[in-house]
Structure 1
Amino acid sequence: MRRRLRAGMVGGGPGAFIGPVHRQALALTGQIDLVAGAFSSDPGRGRELGLEIGLTPERSYPSWEAMLVAEQRLAADQRIDLVIVVTPNHLHYPVARAFSEAGFHVVCDKPLVHTSVQGEDLRRVVEAAGTLFAVTYNYTGYPMVRQARDMIQGGRLGTVRRSVVQYHQGWLATGLERQGNKQAAWRTDPARSGIAGAMGDIGSHAVNLLTTVTGLRLEALCADLHTFVPGRPLDDDASVLLRFSGGARGVLTASQIATGLENDLSLQVFGSEGSLAWRQEEPNRLVFWPADGPQQLLTRGSPHLSPSALAASRLPTGHPEGFLGAFSNIYRGVAEALFARQEGRAAIPEIAQFPDLMDGLRGVRMIEDTVRSAHSREKWTSASVGGPSV
């Protein structure tokens, strides 16, 4: 029988948003058990959480360093197979690098690291170790996102001419970081979040979604970053014009001061033979406008969808699937890739899909290029992002 994989988690402690999401998505796979963790910089609170979610006391570690040392000492049939990094951004690099160098597989939240220099170093470490590395750009796990990508790759839209992606939230429309909100505090702090605010937090998701679906390679960009809330040191609103190889154009907007909006991520792609539109808040529907026929509404789970879209669906048609299912599909892809390694076979391509280290590195470069463009007097800034991995 195939054994379940064993995972450890760094970060995601009491008061965190993304840690519980990862744990729920992990459980939904039915393939990976969380058996260890260093959940908080406060060892006591971290230990309490570990016990609360069912870990043994000896594997609720006081720090990630202690966890790394202890797990290395365990027998191969007991130690973790992979570590999940869900700390604030500034800790991604040291934690991911240390575990990768020690031979553990890594799943890291986005953005990957603070700088492309760190990213390149991490890439060298991972390549030398021969380990798997995933980055949780989780929106690419939605079935209808994969359907859109497959339709574009299959030529249903003809030549892609223009793409528009927007990610709008309203939760930071006021100075929430000064009102005791833990998530707002670290996301607006350059020391922990990095050089960009809204662009790094949600803009990186937007560009990954666009490039993954279209397969376009970014060549240049023109960015306007702005901070609307007084006293906030990072941008809370971003508008970016995009130029791609082959002549395609694009627009990206990312805002966290869009008052009243919740998690409004949407993508439109316009081609010579048709167009597509998808919206995260209605994720089970994809609208297709062919040049030679009427509008078509494609729905999740329908038998005419692509193999990868069908493989990403868990429920029969008409039963809504959402955020956790899409997030879990990233973990399912990681699990399938690891099982294939263990069993000495090729991974099933419809299942073993996940954003990898290079996707994460391109996201970091995009953030740097956007900030550089926003501070430049030049109209266009050459991009160093490159194309997607799928």
Structure 2
Amino acid sequence: MSKTLRVGIVGGGNDSFIGAVHRAAIEQIGRLELVCGAFGSTRQSSFETGKRLKLPTRRSYGTYRDMFRREASLPEGERMDFVAILAPNAMHYPVAMSSIDAGFSVFSEKPFTCNMDEALNLTRKQQASGLAYGIAMAYQGYPMLQTARQLLLEEKAIGAIRKIVARYPLGWLAQRLETAGNKQAGWRTDPRRCGPAGCLIDLGIHCFYVTEWLSGLAVSEVCADLRPTVPGRILDDDCSVLARFTGGARGVFLASQIATGRHDGLSIELMGDRGAMAWSQREPDRLLMRDIDGAERLLTGGNAATDMLAGPGPFGSDSAYITALAATYKAYADYLDAVTAKKGAAASTRGFMTIEDGLRSVVFVDAVLRNCAAPEDPAPPPPKWTPVVVPPIPEL
């Protein structure tokens, strides 16, 4: 029987949307125990969250640096086994670097990092440390997506893939909530906390990752259009990306935070030379198969998406998402066990977004931003298509 692993959390305090989601997933799988945390942007908010979660006072920390320093000094049978990073995007890199310095493995919310320099430095540091690293993309935890991947890669159920369309329409930022006291909108539209892109990092990465993982194809080039739509907003809130894949397939990623009235989550359709398939996060227990003659059949399995968020906010609080995230945590916990026991584990069997996947997602964001960059006079405009190429990891 697998042992219980002890989790420490950075971020995810009382006012956090994602904190409650992750804690529900941790509780659901039964082999993880939340033992400590540095939950807030201030010491007071962190202590208040720790008290509400009924953690011992000595295991609620004012800062993540305090947490790593003090947890590392505890006996091995008492200290946390890994840290879950739920803080805003710009904090992922410094917290992960500090965690590795202290000898703790990492399971982080996306994005991996906010820019290429951070991504390469963190990848190099993780590789040198040998510690486990995972990113909390929950898609591999959906049973019907697992079925879809098997049908695509092993059974070639739709033949050679020709076209992929991934959409992520949300409408909760169709108005300028960041000036109305909405904390989620506040940090997601702030370049200092969100990073150099808004909707692209928040939603576009999902389209990119799911497409590559599900299809087994790699995006080779992008041609994109990003813009901030709401007056006064700095970061993009709507993005459209054309993609070319190795092997010749084409794709479209449509992500939006200003899709008025929409709260659909991610959907994806893959079209091949012998059929097509479609899946939606709004109906995650259904996988639609379509034959070349248009005949349709529906495959079912897993949990329906109940308890959807009623008010404006990000997607990811329904029961099916939490169950999928719990499966992702379990896969990471199993992998951490294997790393600790020095048994090794194949990347293809991990069941979560790996650090290599995270690096590719940052490369994707970087390529899109370069493709959309306004040229400085007298520089020529960027080429229509920008390559998506992972650079070599620098040596120490």
The answer to whether TM tops 0.5 is yes
Structure 1 residue 339, shift from structure 2 partner = 2.6
TM-score of the superposed pair, with normalisation by structure 1: 0.90
Which residue in the other structure is 2:292 paired with?
291
In the alignment, structure 1 residue 61 sits paired with structure 2 residue 66? no
Structure 1 residue 165, shift from structure 2 partner = 0.2
Which residue in the other structure is 2:275 paired with?
274
In the alignment, structure 1 residue 355 sits paired with structure 2 residue 353? yes
Which residue in the other structure is 1:190 paired with?
191
Instruction: Tell me, in whole angstroms, the C-alpha distance in 2 between the residues paired with 1:46 and 1:301.
Output: 36
Check conservation: 1:218, 1:385, Cα contact below 8 A: no
Number of residue equivalences: 369
Check conservation: 2:9, 2:37, Cα contact below 8 A: yes
Partner SS for 2:16: coil
Instruction: Tell me, in whole angstroms, the C-alpha distance in 2 between the residues paired with 1:153 and 1:3.
Output: 33
Q: Provide, for residues 316-341 of structure 1, a one-character-per-residue CA deviation record: whole Å limited to 9, x for no partner.
A: xxxx9611111111101011112334
Partner SS for 2:158: coil
Runs of 5+ consecutive residues of structure 2 not aligned to the other structure: 304-317, 374-380, 392-396
Instruction: Tell me, in whole angstroms, the C-alpha distance in 1 between the residues paired with 2:80 and 2:347.
Output: 25
Check conservation: 1:220, 1:244, Cα contact below 8 A: yes
Partner SS for 1:209: helix
Query: Cα–Cα, structure 1 residues 189 and 215, in superposed 2: closer, same or farther, change >3 Å?
Result: same
Counterpart pick for 1:378 among 365, 380, 383? 383
Structure 1 residue 3, shift from structure 2 partner = 2.3
Instruction: Tell me, in whole angstroms, the C-alpha distance in 2 between the residues paired with 1:215 and 1:335.
Output: 24
Instruction: Tell me, in whole angstroms, the C-alpha distance in 1 between the residues paired with 2:295 and 2:387.
Output: 39
Q: Provide, for residues 141-192 of structure 1, a one-character-per-residue CA deviation record: whole Å limited to 9, x for no partner.
A: 2111111111111111211111000000000001110101111011001111
Which residue in the other structure is 1:178 paired with?
179
Query: Cα–Cα, structure 1 residues 369 and 83, in superposed 2: closer, same or farther, change >3 Å?
Result: same
| 1:26 maps to amino acid | I
Q: Provide, for residues 29-53 of structure 1, a one-character-per-residue CA deviation record: whole Å limited to 9, x for no partner.
A: 1111010100012212211211211
Instruction: Tell me, in whole angstroms, the C-alpha distance in 1 between the residues paired with 2:2 and 2:112.
Output: 31
Check conservation: 1:89, 1:192, Cα contact below 8 A: yes
| 1:294 maps to amino acid | A
Instruction: Tell me, in whole angstroms, the C-alpha distance in 2 between the residues paired with 1:349 and 1:242.
Output: 25
Which residue in the other structure is 1:127 paired with?
127
Structure 1 residue 2, shift from structure 2 partner = 3.6
Query: Cα–Cα, structure 1 residues 180 and 63, in superposed 2: closer, same or farther, change >3 Å?
Result: same
| 1:218 maps to amino acid | V
| 2:26 maps to amino acid | L
Structure 1 residue 226, shift from structure 2 partner = 1.4
Which residue in the other structure is 1:222 paired with?
223
Which residue in the other structure is 1:15 paired with?
15
Which residue in the other structure is 1:163 paired with?
164
Which residue in the other structure is 1:237 paired with?
238
Check conservation: 1:165, 1:251, Cα contact below 8 A: yes
Which residue in the other structure is 1:367 paired with?
365
Instruction: Tell me, in whole angstroms, the C-alpha distance in 2 between the residues paired with 1:112 and 1:24.
Output: 22
Query: Cα–Cα, structure 1 residues 256 and 301, in superposed 2: closer, same or farther, change >3 Å?
Result: closer
Which residue in the other structure is 1:324 paired with?
322
TM-score of the superposed pair, with normalisation by structure 2: 0.89
Instruction: Tell me, in whole angstroms, the C-alpha distance in 2 between the residues paired with 1:109 and 1:71.
Output: 21
Which residue in the other structure is 1:114 paired with?
114
In the alignment, structure 1 residue 73 sits paired with structure 2 residue 78? no
Greater displacement, 337-346 / 320-329:
337-346
Instruction: Tell me, in whole angstroms, the C-alpha distance in 2 between the residues paired with 1:349 and 1:257.
Output: 36
Query: Cα–Cα, structure 1 residues 222 and 86, in superposed 2: closer, same or farther, change >3 Å?
Result: same
Structure 1 residue 349, shift from structure 2 partner = 9.0
Greater displacement, 153-162 / 376-385:
376-385
Q: Provide, for residues 289-344 of structure 1, a one-character-per-residue CA deviation record: whole Å limited to 9, x for no partner.
A: 23378322000159xxxxxxxxxxxxxxxxx9611111111101011112334456
Q: Provide, for residues 331-379 of structure 1, a one-character-per-residue CA deviation record: whole Å limited to 9, x for no partner.
A: 0101111233445656699974111111111111111111111125421
Partner SS for 1:337: helix
Q: Provide, for residues 42-70 of structure 1, a one-character-per-residue CA deviation record: whole Å limited to 9, x for no partner.
A: 21221121121121110000110000100
Structural RMSD (CA): 2.0
Partner SS for 1:284: strand
Structure 1 residue 117, shift from structure 2 partner = 1.1
Runs of 5+ consecutive residues of structure 1 not aligned to the other structure: 303-319
Instruction: Tell me, in whole angstroms, the C-alpha distance in 2 between the residues paired with 1:74 and 1:262.
Output: 44
Q: Provide, for residues 66-124 of structure 1, a one-character-per-residue CA deviation record: whole Å limited to 9, x for no partner.
A: 00100110111111110000111111001001112322110011111111111111111
Which residue in the other structure is 1:4 paired with?
4
Partner SS for 2:278: strand
Check conservation: 2:144, 2:302, Cα contact below 8 A: no
Instruction: Tell me, in whole angstroms, the C-alpha distance in 2 between the residues paired with 1:9 and 1:103.
Output: 15
Query: Cα–Cα, structure 1 residues 228 and 286, in superposed 2: closer, same or farther, change >3 Å?
Result: same
Which residue in the other structure is 1:43 paired with?
43
Check conservation: 2:224, 2:368, Cα contact below 8 A: yes
In the alignment, structure 1 residue 27 sits paired with structure 2 residue 27? yes
Which residue in the other structure is 1:211 paired with?
212
| 2:82 maps to amino acid | L
Identical residues among aligned pairs (%): 41
